[in-house]
Amino acid sequence: MLAKNEIVSRHVLSILVDNEPGVLGRVVGLFSGRGYNIESLTVSETEHDKHVSRITIVTSGTPAIVDQIEAQLGRLVPVHRVVDLTNSGPSVERELALIKVAGKGEMRAEALRLAEAFRARVMDATIESFVFELTGKPDKLDQFIALMLPLGLVEVSRTGVAAISRGPKAM
Amino acid sequence: MTKGSKTGAEMTGAEMVIRALLDQGVDTIFGYPGGAVLPIYDALFQQNELQHILVRHEQGATHSAEGYARSTGKVGVVLVTSGPGATNAVTGMVDALMDSIPLVVITGQVPSHLIGSDAFQECDTVGITRPATKHNYLVKSVEELPRILHEAFYVARSGRPGPVLVDIPKDIQFAAGLYTGPEHVEHRTYKPRIEGDADKIRAAVELMASAKKPVFYTGGGVINSGTRASEALRELVRLTGFPITSTLMGLGAYPHSDKQWLGMLGMHGTFEANHTMHDCDVMICLGARFDDRVTGRVDAFSPNSKKIHVDIDPSSINKIVKVDIPIVGDVGNVIEAMTKLWKAEKKSADKEALAGWWKQIGTWRARKSLSYKNSKSIIKPQYAVERLYELTKGPNTYITTEVGQHQMWAAQYYGFEEPNRWMTSGGLGTMGYGLPAALGVQVAHPDALVCCIAGEASVLMNMQEMSTAVQHRLPVKIFILNNEYMGMVRQWQQLLHGARYSQSYSEALPDFVKLAEAYGGVGIRCEDPAELDGKIKEMIEVDAPVLFDCRVEKIENCFPMIPSGKAHNEMILGDAAAAADIGSVIDEEGKVLV
């Protein structure tokens, strides 16, 4: 039988799908219907000629649950391939965030100093606000956003994680 | 329309539907017309090759198609309209999904330009049926229609079979385009694995040869794999001398009369089947999926065995129970490969150990778990099924069931010798399945004796299909075990809820004899055990649909039973249950389970 006390860990899954109507609904519906977690999800067409899109999902679960998620995704008819990037060797992951901070005086100056330290770019500025663009691993974004909170954080927009394996081979 | 490839011919979308069905070898469809499928019905009207069975409710169409598919191994086809036509068909699609029955369901849709406008009889059919089907399509243009239709059949029947829906807007049914035939149609990504991994098959055979207390645990996958799989299974089981049990869905793959057969396993399985599963040291699971009705308490399920699992669906493996040798592939194919290897390497079972194992099994068999106390004054439901079996058995008899106690009694007391003779709703447990399924079976096998073992509550859920039976001269025999209760609900209320029979008694039942006559069929009633044989014979002789109102013991319980939350070796037998306080056999933890 399946052990119940296995450790829950975070996994990044890359899914290649036919870019057809409803395919995202199938993937998302599978997660909600079977009670799996979605921590982040990104999707975009990656090979226009072949009508192939790539979905990156960050999920969490025990090894048995994550194996089941992979198998269930593989069962969907328009899914070409599923790779658990977390389990299949080293990979790179990046996320982009747009962060709006409003404030005046010293708070505003401090926000700008921190942005420079994090190598965030200023995408928009008024005399009482900034919009920063920051790219990095999700935890770096979390850290920057936490720092902005007391400095007048107004709004955040994040893309979710995009990921790819290291080395010369394709998935 | 004539036979032969029409690739390149110009025709309307509606004509393409008919052409594609014929090119796929379809002879019969089950359906109900409506506004959004009128062009297809018009094309149907103008040809004579494709037979249409007019049902009385779209759910009936899907279950009929399931019965047709399950009894023939072919794809069942349904044609219904948009909106309510589609939503009424959903239950049957989920039923087919759970039991892996190949269906192609064609639905009409409002014209493309009205989609999303809340038009009359519009619903988001592909959205609603996404989790109800193996795959579904909304057709966007007449150019892609032929490919989608052929692909739908490919997906429905390939790998683990299931229902596929094609939603066709009305304007596309009218539009003209070029037809393409089914030649070379395969899905560009969907390519299920058929051959099992050779190394794993070798490891499985080694493990089987070393087993001291082995058991075969087989399921509906063997039936789905085709009659060759059943033949291969029989050879392998006889070659090894191992005992064999099966799930509800797998009955008939191995002959019930054989001495190696232990009977069905699971919640209402036999004492010997469940104890053999619990105590075995090697379990060979072929085309079954460790369903909760089979395993009982999962952490106490066959705790000391090494497990081999063969399944065409990778997601079935390690889903509920962790196995030692997983083999992804077509079960018939893998069984043949196992048999070949067993023979080539001159493998043999550990004869001495196996003899001891059979001796142990003999002691479990001696408990006679299916025995019951018969009566001279009241018809016992078990007796009714036993008599039905004795009087109807034969290779040309097909049995369907509704869902509930009668279904379990049918599984326990009706013996199946061949595959594809047993049609029942296993996974979804759909009341209302049996009568329409029987119609589908009868359409496919006009000269067969088709009998639906029913309960009086279940059968009322799709009773309107009696009208279909009469219209299409389908002489199905609906054998109703009438106890006036929703028997399985009542049994659980007795076991779990202090015998408070909340809403499980039908205060006002129809007179089934008059009801049969009202539909234009024949009604027979039997209340006396002494008259049962004569009336069953009368039922068989009638060349018309029959409702047989068999009045049985009202508060009989279905035993043996593994109470919810208990293990295989904690099952209760009928005599023990009668002696004990029946309300206390399920503990608090078990009560929350279904």
* Interchain CB contact of B307 with A (< 8 Å): no
pTM: 0.95
> Sheet containing B214-218: which strands, arranged edge to edge?
B261-264, B244-246, B214-218, B282-286, B306-311, B325-328
Shortest distance between the Cα of B34 and any Cα of chain A, in A, equals 26
- Is a pLDDT exceeding 80 seen at residue B483? yes
CA distances from B462 to B103, B108, B213, B459 (A): 20, 23, 45, 6
Q: What distance in Å separates the CA atoms of residue B120 and residue B118, rounded to the nearest whole number? A: 7
Overall average pLDDT of the B408-435 stretch: 98
- Is a pLDDT exceeding 60 seen at residue B279? yes
Q: What distance in Å separates the CA atoms of residue A134 and residue B118, rounded to the nearest whole number? A: 43
Residue A50 has a CB neighbour count (10 Å cut-off) of 13
Q: What distance in Å separates the CA atoms of residue A49 and residue A36, rounded to the nearest whole number? A: 32
**Residue-wise pLDDT tens digits, A68-120:** 999 999 999 999 999 999 999 999 999 999 999 999 999 999 999 999 999 99
**Where on the phi/psi map is residue B263: left (φ > 0), alpha (ψ -120 to 50), or beta?**
left
How much is the pLDDT for B565?
A: 86
Amino acid at B58: E
Q: What distance in Å separates the CA atoms of residue B155 and residue A71, rounded to the nearest whole number? A: 17
How much is the pLDDT for B420?
A: 98
Overall average pLDDT of the A5-19 stretch: 93
Sequence-distant (≥ 6) Cβ neighbours of residue B578 within 8 angstroms: none
Residues of A in contact with B127 (CB under 8 A): 22, 25
**Residue-wise pLDDT tens digits, B77-102:** 999 999 999 999 999 999 999 999 99
CB atoms A68 and B318 under 8 Å: yes
> Measured in whole angstroms, how far is the alpha carbon of residue B482 from the centre of its chain?
23
Query: Which structure tokens are listed for B37?
Result: 């499928």
Shortest distance between the Cα of A89 and any Cα of chain B, in A, equals 23
**Residue-wise pLDDT tens digits, A68-82:** 999 999 999 999 999
CB atoms B298 and A1 under 8 Å: yes
**Residue-wise pLDDT tens digits, B305-351:** 999 999 999 999 999 999 999 999 999 999 999 999 999 999 999 99
How much is the pLDDT for B84?
A: 98
How much is the pLDDT for A74?
A: 95
Burial code (b: 16+ CB inside 10 Å, e: under 16) for B519-553 equals bebbbbbbeebeebeebbeebbeeeebbbbbbbbb
Overall average pLDDT of the B101-111 stretch: 98
Which residue in chain A is spatially nearest to B303 when comparing CA positions?
A1
How much is the pLDDT for A3?
A: 53
* Interchain CB contact of A26 with B (< 8 Å): yes
- Is a pLDDT exceeding 80 seen at residue B455? yes
Overall average pLDDT of the A140-144 stretch: 98
Q: Residue A162's pLDDT band (boundaries 50, 70, 90)?
A: very high
CB atoms A78 and B138 under 8 Å: no
Helices B90-99/B58-72 angle, 10° precision: 20
Residues of A in contact with B135 (CB under 8 A): 76-78
- Is a pLDDT exceeding 70 seen at residue A4? no
Query: Which structure tokens are listed for B12?
Result: 């309307």
> Measured in whole angstroms, how far is the alpha carbon of residue B153 from the centre of its chain?
20
* Interchain CB contact of B520 with A (< 8 Å): no
Least CB–CB distance from A71: residue in B134, B140, B314: B314
- Is a pLDDT exceeding 90 seen at residue B580? no
- β-bridge mates for residue A124, sequence order: A131
Q: What distance in Å separates the CA atoms of residue B154 and residue A68, rounded to the nearest whole number? A: 25
Sequence-distant (≥ 6) Cβ neighbours of residue B207 within 8 angstroms: B282, B306, B308, B324, B325
Sign of CA dihedral A31, A32, A36, A37: positive
The residues of B that are catalytic are: 58, 120-121, 170, 488
Residues of B in contact with A78 (CB under 8 A): 135, 189
DSSP codes of every residue in B271-326: HHHHHHHHH-SEEEEES----HHHHSSGGGSSTT-EEEEEES-GGGTTSSS--SEE
* Interchain CB contact of B322 with A (< 8 Å): yes
How much is the pLDDT for B1?
A: 45
How much is the pLDDT for B538?
A: 98
The kind and range of the H/E element at A99 are: strand A91-102
> Measured in whole angstroms, how far is the alpha carbon of residue B550 from the centre of its chain?
24
CB atoms A1 and B314 under 8 Å: no
How much is the pLDDT for B9?
A: 94
Residue A93 has a CB neighbour count (10 Å cut-off) of 17
CB atoms B321 and A2 under 8 Å: yes
Overall average pLDDT of the B114-128 stretch: 97
| Range list of H helices, A8-162 | 23-33, 63-75, 105-117, 138-148
Residues of A in contact with B320 (CB under 8 A): 1-2
What's the complex ipTM? 0.90
**Residue of A26, A31, A75 to mutate, testing the B interface (most B Cβ within 10 Å of its Cβ):** A75
The kind and range of the H/E element at B533 are: helix B532-541
The CA R_g of chain B, rounded to the nearest whole Å, is: 25
- Is a pLDDT exceeding 50 seen at residue B2? no
Asked if B145 contacts B168 with a C-beta cutoff of 8 angstroms, the reply is: yes
* DSSP helix/strand/coil, B489: helix
How much is the pLDDT for B588?
A: 76
CB atoms A18 and B189 under 8 Å: yes
- B189 vs B271, higher pLDDT: B271
Q: What distance in Å separates the CA atoms of residue B568 and residue B587, rounded to the nearest whole number? A: 15
Asked if B400 contacts B426 with a C-beta cutoff of 8 angstroms, the reply is: no
Q: Which of B352, B447, B356 lies closest to B397 in space, CA to CA?
A: B447
How much is the pLDDT for B189?
A: 81
CB atoms B314 and A80 under 8 Å: no
Q: Which of B291, B292, B262 lies closest to B277 in space, CA to CA?
A: B262
**Residue of A49, A77, A80, A82 to mutate, testing the B interface (most B Cβ within 10 Å of its Cβ):** A77
How much is the pLDDT for B591?
A: 76
Asked if B462 contacts B63 with a C-beta cutoff of 8 angstroms, the reply is: yes
**Residue of B109, B130, B285, B297 to mutate, testing the A interface (most A Cβ within 10 Å of its Cβ):** B130
Overall average pLDDT of the B513-521 stretch: 98
CB atoms B189 and A75 under 8 Å: no
Q: What distance in Å separates the CA atoms of residue A132 and residue A154, rounded to the nearest whole number? A: 12
Shortest distance between the Cα of A35 and any Cα of chain B, in A, equals 14
CB atoms B314 and A18 under 8 Å: no
Query: Which structure tokens are listed for B336?
Result: 């043949």
Overall average pLDDT of the B5-13 stretch: 89
How much is the pLDDT for B5?
A: 62
**Residue-wise pLDDT tens digits, B37-86:** 999 999 999 999 999 999 999 999 999 999 999 999 999 999 999 999 99
